[in-house]
Structure 1
Amino acid sequence: MSLYLCVDCGGSKTSAVISDASGKIVGRAYGGPSNVAYLTVASFIEVIRGTVGEALKTCSEPASVELVPLPPPENLRFAAAWFGISGADSPSIIESVVTPLTSLLGIPKGPRLSVANDAHLLAAPIRMHADVSSAVTVIGGTGSIVVSFKEREDGELQELGRVGGWGWILGDEGGGYSVGREAVRQVLAEQDRHSVMANPPPEGALRGLLKKYFNIKDVMELLTEVYIPDPSPSAVAPDRGAHAYMAREKRLSSLSPLVFTAAFEAHDPLALNVLRTCARDLADQICIVVGDATEETPGLVDASESVICFGGSLVGLDVYRKLVLDELASKGHVFKHVEFVDDCAKVGAAGLRLKYTN
């Protein structure tokens, strides 16, 4: 049996999918967080051991009720594996896990064991469109990152350009955190503009939802609520809302659903402007990696000959994804294909199988 393993290693969970040579998904399992930047190599390997061992249970005949030990037995050997690992942002980090993975999976170092940042998995649809050889991946969840690729003649994906992925303190433009931050900024800016006017600002849906969420009566109290230090449970006053128990990053990223409600259910122009601003910021990041390649910029890809692959909760919303694509179109960048990938491990397993069976 030829088995193809893809593992999406994220900050909140690990997803492992196993495909057979026909493309049928024969194994799937979920495990705990496996962002390698936050774990020791030994802890990372233990998460992989448990998740992959669980996924292998349904691959044998009859299905096993016990976790399959790794390396797997001869009848369950992997033909190839593809790991997309959150936090794997440097060659040294990737190298630190490759050797343990070869021992764990029984796959020698080389092209059949691919280990890269999790943004690489999002580029798997490039193998499903015969008329393109380049891809731009856009992760837009709480945070954001843009990475461009080309498919080499040997079937390997070569990273060309990368923009963002700096985290909430330094960046994450266009992600859920920036939507929450921009909402607070625009509400406060509107309040500032009206400080010299005869009338107060309109009590729109976004203002009302933010005041209710933070349990405040005046929008200027947002400053106090946003800047509450990261929580120490014993130090939080009992009359504070749930937001006081959140880390500051989560406190702002958790506001993004309110912005979408205000924009698309209450039709609040201020909320819609927040989303347009964030979509424009994300489109600007994408524009850094697309265009006409020159001697000075050989890594640019032509959008009209490429697939753009979106992944993440925020860009998973059709209305927000359309705002980003409209911004790109206004700048002259229209992609040949548009894909939203809601299951990177599954699509990655399919792409890996195609690489070795086509």
Structure 2
Amino acid sequence: MSLYLCVDCGGSKTSAVICDSSGEIKGRALGGPSNFAYLGLDNFKEAVKTAVSNALKTCISPPSIEPVPLPSSTPLFAAAWLGVSGVDSQAAIDKLTPPLSELLGIPPGPRLIVCNDAHLLAAPLQIHEDVHSAVTVIAGTGGIVVSFVEGEHGSLKEMGRVGGWGWILGDEGGGFHVGREAVRQILTRSDTASVEGPPPKTILEEEGKKTLVDRILEHFGVHDVYELLTVIHLPDPLPGGVQILDPNLPEYARIVREKRLSQLAPLVFTSAFDDGDPLALKILRTTSSMLVDQICIVLRPGAPKAVDPSDGVICFGGSLAGVDKYRQLILDQLKERGFEFKYIEFVDDAAAVGAKGLAKTAKNS
């Protein structure tokens, strides 16, 4: 049996899916984080090895209790596609390819594809036969936009890429951006009120209901908006976790700064879409608008490598893009700017879609 492997290597988890030549999923498993830029080569390789080995266990009937050893003396996969967060250059791909080739028993070349994880989301381009381009939009913890057209033998050819610079430099539209924008707008509102006086009360405040400000202050266990400055700027926990054992430390001090902000995104979404908090809605319109700015770059009419949305599919991925109302904010703003796609997809299982696309490409080549 010819088996095809796809591994989605993300900042929070690793998803490995194995399918046969017909596209039927035969095995799958989840593992821990595998962002190459954050983990380094050895830890990344171990995360992939564990996820793939556990996925192979589920291919056996009945499923094996013991992990399937990698590499195997007998080649296990006809082809493999690894989409890796933190792989942002050809140099990184070149560094990863030899150890992955050794791990999986697949020689470097067309049967072993190593790329950024955003590429996996473009697999619907291989499935829809009446479109010729795809734009992938990730809005999860981070954010990135990548455009593609069909390459040779059903492969994907990258045309443009915008964003994906990581939390320090960007990640527009993602969870970190939402959390940071929430704190920024809360502080801006307080700064303005110090000069102009407090703004009129919102309906939520008049009804005594919990606002986004209430939720965030409660989340961190503080009582004043300006205490958020201390919360956010407190250094990351020391390596080794010694200070984490200190019972006198507040909970937020045990969490790295990136997560202190990205974990605020669910609070903003709840306040915006469940409670109708105007401040939360303003925050999400701001973050989604900046993501739309990035999408529009790969659609720019007249640009040599721009793609045509009317003949393409937009493929969303990530936890934030999985929220219908947030995704609709993005689509509405694209429409306002004159861009509408032929198909709209949300890929909630990129590894599965990637494995099926890999099998279909092999079948058609």
**Cα distance in 2 for residues equivalent to 1:62 and 1:246:** 41
State the shift of 1:61 in Å: 5.3
Q: Which of 240, 256, 266 is matched with 2:275 structurally?
A: 266
State the shift of 1:100 in Å: 2.4
- Once the two structures are superposed, the pairs formed by residues 1-358 of structure 1 within 5 Å of their partners are 1-60=1-60, 63-72=63-72, 74=74, 77-199=76-198, 202=201, 204=205, 205-232=211-238, 234=243, 241-292=250-301, 294=302, 297-358=303-364
Question: Can you list the C-alpha shifts for 1:180-216, whole angstroms capped at 9, x where unaligned?
Answer: 1111111222222222335456374122222222333
Flag the 1:222–1:102 CA change in 2: closer, same or farther, 3 A: closer
The alignment partner of 1:177 has SS state of: helix
The alignment partner of 1:30 has SS state of: strand
**Cα distance in 1 for residues equivalent to 2:230 and 2:104:** 51
**Cα distance in 1 for residues equivalent to 2:51 and 2:36:** 15
CA contact (8 A) 2:244 2:254 kept: no
Question: Can you list the C-alpha shifts for 1:13-69, whole angstroms capped at 9, x where unaligned?
Answer: 221111012221111122333222234434433333332222222334565443222
The letter of the residue matching 1:262 is S
The letter of the residue matching 1:133 is H
Question: Gaps (5+ residues) in structure 2?
Answer: 206-210
The alignment partner of 1:309 has SS state of: strand
Flag the 1:57–1:240 CA change in 2: closer, same or farther, 3 A: closer
**Cα distance in 1 for residues equivalent to 2:247 and 2:321:** 36
State the shift of 1:107 in Å: 2.0
State the shift of 1:291 in Å: 3.0
**Cα distance in 2 for residues equivalent to 1:126 and 1:42:** 33
Instruction: State the TM-score, normalizing by the size of structure 2.
Output: 0.90
Larger CA deviation: 202-211 vs 299-308:
202-211
Flag the 1:274–1:66 CA change in 2: closer, same or farther, 3 A: same
Aligned residue pairs: how many? 354
Flag the 1:195–1:239 CA change in 2: closer, same or farther, 3 A: farther
State the shift of 1:127 in Å: 0.9
**Cα distance in 1 for residues equivalent to 2:230 and 2:342:** 47
- Tell me the percent identity: 59
State the shift of 1:97 in Å: 2.1
CA contact (8 A) 2:22 2:360 kept: no
CA contact (8 A) 2:153 2:361 kept: no
Flag the 1:19–1:201 CA change in 2: closer, same or farther, 3 A: same
Question: Gaps (5+ residues) in structure 1?
Answer: none
